[in-house]
A and B are shown apart, each in its own frame.
Chain A
């Protein structure tokens, strides 16, 4: 019963360790810094391996989406590992509040904890819509700004490292650069620097220049974009190390950033008002946030454009325009029209080969992923999309085979085959 839900109190905030499930390593490492800076004790969960899936299968309804299973499995696995004082540990999970199952993750987590007899562990809901009250954990306006800054840095580092990694002369130099920047930024965060616009501009300039300075060799690579359900798209635990696999296949990978998702969430409130009506005062507030986020996104784009010859990521407003060619902008559950838009934009920016990742049976992706591929190809016949389902029992053999098929077509486009001469010798029906 929800009244026995353990509330995260102010008392607990003093000495509890809050465990954060991992999604995208660069962003989350920076976010961790922001939490620490706000005097929370936090730790990122990096445990992986079969025991995570095992615990997930055990405590979560097996038809639930794979991300829920993994995130909850990862948490329970961590709690059972003996590494934490269970009576001084709390968990944190995001709650989006949309029409997708994902809004229910926190409830599924609590159910799972109860089954595992760990229901004394408090669960913090990370949401921006005030869905749950928790006196010990407050996201202040200042903290929100700092988190946003972390995400902006994260997007920038992710995009630059992806652009540079595929062509670096010294293997590993791009990721080394990323690590060094994470350390430098965390150090700035500790001193409460690096968050304001001026600091950000300065940092971002330096970041871009440092990546531009890395020795690179322009070789021919297959350009592959990754879109999908947010967790599976970013988390290597969820997508069986998809990015690494693509790297071994001689590809340049592009993964659209998290700012797009943030903007998408805010933009949906504006759309909702447009489509269905609502409170005009609230709308004004939301528009303010929207403009603020657009400004942040612009920081990324401008710094890349000004200080390097890296490709500049497309703007959110362009994304809206692209998506609207294919799907209604009211489609807002899960990744909604954003996912469709990202496929269109990737294709437009030369990443015509796309892996569309989703948990097996993901409801929104029936519509916005698999459901839109035909239409996208109708507009852009060169677009080469493969939809891959992820699931506790889907094997990587199957997934990689399908991705390799997509890559074969991609390579053929890179090097068109000499005209295949029909030889005609063989075309006769078999007997029987």
Chain B
């Protein structure tokens, strides 16, 4: 009997037909565009006629095949397992198989104990990810592979998930990085993601086999794996069909093809999901809605030929370029809204050249730029002004609706919302890197289902049963959509569901509201995504209020810029004129900045005539050639203080401390303690991304926070130094501080040493002391510590330990006091010099520049003085807290928030590491404290890689709002 295996993945359908001797007779690989049943029918009918088959041993595999098998009662084989079977039959002693699919990544270890692994729900798509990235670069998959061959250098791109990577790549594109380099960098990101997420401590070595679509089609992806793994992997013949072949081998049930075909054709897909209310019940409702929103108009008068004085506004967004010309009466005379195709610079040049050529009588007398590409465009074309997006949008909205009290803008990559009170931006919300599935998110889905975005969203308007897709990131959404299809949702229902989920994402994840009343009475919606009627309607329905969508919803940023430029018009515009433009040149170079230890990758655009733009920098140094004032930055002070704990030779030999997590605060304690006990105390030193990548294969949980992942790097660094003893204790409790309910560390800080012990293979090269230590009981500590040390060093006496402990506590207090003193000094200086103070609040380990991405320096470069949460004390009434204040580090956040509530020139920015569960509690509480006192709450979510572009917007918006608030305050 012949055997037929069918593999239905998330994007493709594959089959393999085998004879009795397991020889492959036929196979095919096709994209199914979610029309699974139709494709399968076609495929089976072809097999039936080509091979005159009545019956065959049949089984089905794949993530999309599972539902089908349940529905039609057909035998199912799990796809990873199928690979394992096929590998056993068709390969000679493979050690390891790496298989990438549309959305899944799998690693199979076949020698020394079989182990199979699949990515979790978060690590996200791989094939789909590459497709998305290719789209972003405006290349097809094949062209991307070709491009990668010509790479000159690699950029670090987040490997944690697709959305993150996207927000890394976008700024690089906007800074002018070459597609060749980006393509190669994307492949490397996939490699890091696969290894980081799946290897989990097992070495990938020996005979490695690459399978699946992406690895078959992209030679450069294989190359990237080879490079990183330092071996030469094999991509065997039929590498696309291993799952299908394995499934065929496993097929035991003889099934009549006609029966299957009948079942498929008459499958009655029942609606088996929770449906939401339709967006519109009928055409009439839609017509009324259209009419209502048609009323919000800005005068647009577009003449054949533009003449006279006009003002230019440009919004260089992450995926789109918006350009507006207005006349002195503030009417729009020209506008354009287009995808930036990864090359904003060229597009602006094109636009301007055309405008100059077509309208010789036109004179641009002022200009202003906003958006991601602001700095680049401004320096390239000499625009007069550059303003932060929030200001641009507010300027436009105010012109439009003076009493506006809430603006929500959903663009390609960002959601921005501002609350306005007394004519000032009072609060702003921006989406975090993780939930950035916004406009481009709908776009991606539309094209994945082979629709044009407009057509796609219109489908949803009259959907009868919109499907509930939740409110999470794109990666999750992919599988939700798959599930919905399985449950019988139509394309219309999915379209409506996606629009609704965009709205829910904005409301519940970004703004975190539950109540429309919190938003205000006069709400303006803008940004390209609100052109989409389905999204707009879903927004109104979710909030239960009517909102205003200007007719130029997508152009508001550019229009606001133009208004700003008009108001602040200079005597003579600095914008390049037609002649200057004709001579415009652009050359891109990449260099590594050597001015500090961050070693940023800089992209330098030279525009001829000596003008330059430098991107990729985290601080002002490479641009202004001078160091930002480090002296008024407590993060710098802390780093210097910690650095002063150097090893002193000791008779008991070397002991190593990993600089990670709580060690950033406990170093003074342990360094003194062990130095006093005559050890030579060595630390793991400065952390680096290279060290992280080298150590990441021992991380067992890919969703743990980045600071915890850095522990692996710190430990490896100590091992590299051949330190014989590493001291990294488990600490359930931290030091007891006043005003707290308890003094816990978070579970990750408390017990990460256990993870190190269980997962870092090389740890056997040293003695790891990771016993449980309690520093909160000062009197008992020496006794318990003595008991611990006795296990390792028999000659250590209790008396010695008591003395060392005393010194250690003293040094710890002294260290904290030094930090506090310096902090107070900074605050006082700021008061005297009338400077803004930002409390950059986080955890002790956020001083690590690899973890904080130089955000402290960035803030300092804006002229603000930087202190941390632990330099202020506040005698607030802790009964007012609405949370259990039981973690030492976190209680400081509440104290800091209370401290600044009545200090006009102090604001708080909270650093939150992605995946920090405890901060789900603290951020809401800190926000409530601040907002209760009329302060703006700013949160920066940081991870392995952080989109500094978004961070900059957030910080600049905060500073602009503070400034504006200050002015209003004075003028009153």
A residues in contact (CB < 8 Å) with B: 1-3, 49-50, 53-54, 57-59, 61-65, 98-101, 103-104, 106-108, 110-111, 115-116, 272, 275-278, 326-328, 330-334, 360-368, 370-375, 377, 381, 387, 389, 391-402, 404-405, 407-409, 412, 417, 420-430, 432
Is the CB–CB distance between B91 and A427 below 8 Å? yes
State the CA gap A113–B900 with chains docked (Å): 28
- A327 near B750 with CB under 8 A, answer no
Q: A99-B886, A405-B116 are in contact. Are A374 and B780 (CB under 8 A)?
A: no
> Which chain A residue lies CB-closest to B87?
A420
Q: CA A250 – CA B968 in complex, angstroms?
A: 71
Asked whether A430 lies within 8 Å of B216 as measured between CB atoms, the reply is yes
Q: List 7 A-B contacts (CB under 8 A).
A: A367-B747, A391-B472, A393-B471, A394-B479, A395-B482, A427-B234, A430-B236
Smallest Cβ-Cβ distance to A326: which chain B residue: B758
B508 within 8 A of A: yes
- Identify A99's interface contact among B22, B116, B468, B747, CB under 8 A: B747
Interchain CA distance A50-B274 in the complex, whole Å: 7
Taking a contact as CB atoms under 8 Å apart, the answer to whether A401 and B66 are in contact is yes
Given the complex of chains A and B, what is the CA–CA distance between A58 and B22 in angstroms? 54
Q: Using Cβ atoms and an 8 Å threshold, which residues of chain A touch B508?
A: 57-58, 62
On whether the beta carbons of B235 and A62 are closer than 8 Å, the reply is no
What is the chain A residue whose CB lies nearest that of B471?
A57
Indicate if B113 sits at the interface (CB-CB under 8 A). Answer: yes
Residues of B within 8 A of A64 (CB): 917, 920-921
Q: What residues of chain B lie closer than 8 Å to A373, measured between beta carbons?
A: 700
| B882 pairs with A2, CB closer than 8 A | yes
Q: 8 Å CB contacts to A: which residues of B867-890?
A: 879-884, 886-887
CB distance from B871 to the nearest CB of A (A): 25
Residues in chain A near residue B920, CB distance under 8 A: 61-65, 101
Within the complex, which residue of B235, B469, B733 is in contact with A430, where a contact is CB–CB below 8 Å? Answer: B235
Q: Does B122 contact A (CB under 8 A)?
A: yes
**CB-defined contacts of B730 to chain A, threshold 8 Å:** 328, 330-331
> How long is the Cα–Cα vector from A160 to B701 in the complex, in angstroms?
34
CB-CB under 8 A from A397, the residues of chain B are 63, 66-67, 479, 482-483, 486
B121: CB under 8 A from chain A? yes
Interface centre among A275, A377, A402 (most CB of B within 10 A): A275
Cβ B88 vs Cβ A334 within 8 A? no
Listed in ascending order, the chain B residues whose CB lies under 8 Å from chain A are 21-24, 63, 66-67, 76-81, 85, 88-93, 113-116, 118, 120-122, 200-201, 216, 219, 234-239, 274, 468-472, 476-477, 479-480, 482-483, 486, 504, 508-509, 512, 514-515, 700-701, 703-704, 708, 730, 732-733, 742, 744-748, 750-752, 754-755, 757-759, 770-772, 774, 776-777, 779-780, 783-784, 879-884, 886-887, 915, 917-921, 923-924
Q: Which of A65, A392, A404, A425 contacts B472 (CB 8 A)?
A: A392
Contacts of A387 in B (CB 8 A): 120
Shortest CB distance B654–A (Å):
24
Question: How many A-B pairs fall under 8 Å by CB?
Answer: 272
Tell me whether B923 and A2 are in contact (CB under 8 A): no
How many whole Å from B474's CB to the nearest CB in chain A? Answer: 11
The answer to whether B748 touches A367, judged by C-beta atoms less than 8 angstroms apart, is yes
- Contact across chains for A374 and B23 when beta carbons are under 8 A apart: no
Q: In this complex, which of B23, B81, B201 has the most chain A Cβ atoms within 10 angstroms of its Cβ?
A: B81
Q: Are A424 and B92 in contact (CB under 8 A)?
A: yes
Inter-subunit contact B483/A396 (CB<8 Å): yes
A residues less than 8 Å from B480 (CB atoms): 393, 395
Cα distance A103–B923 in the bound complex, in angstroms: 16
Q: How far is the CB of B452 from chain A (nearest CB, A)?
A: 27
Q: How far is the CB of A96 from chain B (nearest CB, A)?
A: 11
Q: How far is the CA of A424 from the CA of B22 in the complex (A)?
A: 11
Q: A328-B754, A360-B121, A367-B751 are in contact. Are A99 and B479 (CB under 8 A)?
A: no
Q: How far is the CA of A399 from the CA of B483 in the complex (A)?
A: 12
* Chain B residues, CB < 8 A from A428: 236-237
The docked-state distance in angstroms from the alpha carbon of A417 to that of B219 is 34
A184 CB, min distance to chain B CBs, angstroms? 38
CA distance A417 to B755 in the complex (A): 35
Looking at the assembled complex, report how far the CB atom of A60 sits from the nearest CB atom of chain B, in whole angstroms.
9
Complex contacts, B78 vs chain A, CB 8 Å:
401, 404-405, 407-408
Enumerate chain A residues within 8 angstroms of B274, measured Cβ to Cβ.
49-50
Which residue of the partner chain B has the closest CB to A373? B700
Instruction: Please report the C-alpha to C-alpha distance between residue A214 and residue B468 in the assembled complex, in whole angstroms.
Output: 43
Pairwise interchain contact A99-B514, C-beta atoms closer than 8 A: no
Are A423's CB and B89's CB within 8 A?
Answer: yes
CB distance from A366 to the nearest CB of B (A): 4
Q: With A330-B730, A360-B703, A374-B758 in contact, is A116–B514 under 8 Å at CB?
A: yes
| A401:B236 contact, CB within 8 angstroms | no
Contact partners of A372 in chain B: CB under 8 A: 754, 758
Who on chain B is nearest to A397 by CB?
B483
Docked-complex contact B66 and A404, CB < 8 angstroms: yes
B116, A371: Cβ atoms under 8 Å?
Answer: no
**Judging by beta carbons under 8 Å apart, are B121 and A391 in contact?**
yes
Q: Which of B67, B477, B701, B751 contacts A370 (CB 8 A)?
A: B701
Q: Is the CB of B700 within 8 A of A426?
A: no
Kindly report which residue of chain A lies nearest to residue B481, judged by CB atoms: A395
Complex CA distance for A57 and B879, rounded to whole angstroms: 27
Distance between A195 CB and nearest chain B CB, rounded to angstroms: 33
Identify the 3 closest CB pairs spanning chains A and B, nearest first. A277-B780, A420-B88, A276-B774
Contact of B236 among A3, A108, A404, A429 (CB under 8 A): A429
Residue contact A2 to B879, C-beta cutoff 8 Å: yes
Which residues of chain B have C-beta atoms less than 8 A from A277's C-beta? 774, 777, 779-780, 783-784
Question: Smallest distance from the beta carbon of A102 to chain B beta carbons, Å?
Answer: 10
Q: Is A371 a contact partner of B470 (Cβ separation < 8 A)?
A: no
Asked, given contacts A116-B514, A363-B747, A367-B747, whether A429 binds B90 with beta carbons under 8 Å apart, the answer is no
Q: Could you say which residues of chain A place their CB within 8 Å of the CB of B514?
A: 58-59, 115-116
B24 closest partner in A (C-beta): A426
Contact B921 A331 (CB under 8 A): no
Residue in chain A with minimal CB distance to B479: A395
**Distance, CA A423 to CA B238, complexed state (A):** 14
Q: How far is the CB of B185 from chain A (nearest CB, A)?
A: 22
Nearest B-chain residue to A404, judged by Cβ: B78
Residue contact B759 to A374, C-beta cutoff 8 Å: yes
Chain A residues within 8 Å of B476, by CB: 391, 393-395
Least CB distance, B24 to chain A, in whole angstroms:
7
Beta-carbon contact of A389 and B80 below 8 Å = no
**A371 and B759 in contact (CB under 8 A), knowing A327-B754, A397-B479?**
yes
Residues of A within 8 A of B887 (CB): 99
Cα A400 to Cα B78 in complex, Å, equals: 10
**Given A61-B923, A99-B746, A333-B732, do A402 and B88 touch, yes or no (CB 8 Å)?**
no
Which residues from chain A contact B746 at a C-beta distance below 8 Å? 99, 363
> Counting chain B CB atoms within 10 Å of each CB, which of A108, A332, A334, A426 scores highest?
A426
Q: Known: A65-B917, A405-B80. Is A389-B880 also a contact (CB below 8 A)?
A: no
Chain B: which residue is nearest A62 at the CB level? B509
B237 and A430 contact, CB distance less than 8 A: yes
A109 and B351 CA atoms in complex are apart in Å by: 55
State in angstroms the CA–CA spacing of A111 and B922 once bound together. Answer: 13
Which residues of the other chain, B, contact A62 by a CB distance below 8 angstroms? 471, 508-509, 512, 920
Identify the closest chain A residue to B775 (Cβ). Answer: A276
CB distance from A116 to the nearest CB of B (A): 7
Across-interface contacts of B118 in A (CB, < 8 A):
401-402, 405
Does A333 contact B747, Cβ atoms closer than 8 Å? yes
CB-CB under 8 A for A409 and B114, given A99-B732, A277-B777, A397-B67: yes
Residues of A within 8 A of B915 (CB): 361
Roughly how many angstroms separate A362 CA and B750 CA in the complex, as a whole number?
14
Give chain B nearest CB distance to A151 CB in angstroms: 25
Assess the A330–B732 pair: CB atoms within 8 A: yes
Closest chain A residue to B915 by CB distance? A361
Given contacts A331-B754, A363-B917, contact A429 B234 (CB under 8 A): yes
- Expressed in whole angstroms, the minimum distance between the Cβ of B886 and any Cβ of chain A is 6
A375→B320 CA distance, assembly (Å): 50
Contacts of B477 in A (CB 8 A): 393
Which among A116, A370, A407 has the greatest number of chain B C-beta atoms within 10 A? A370
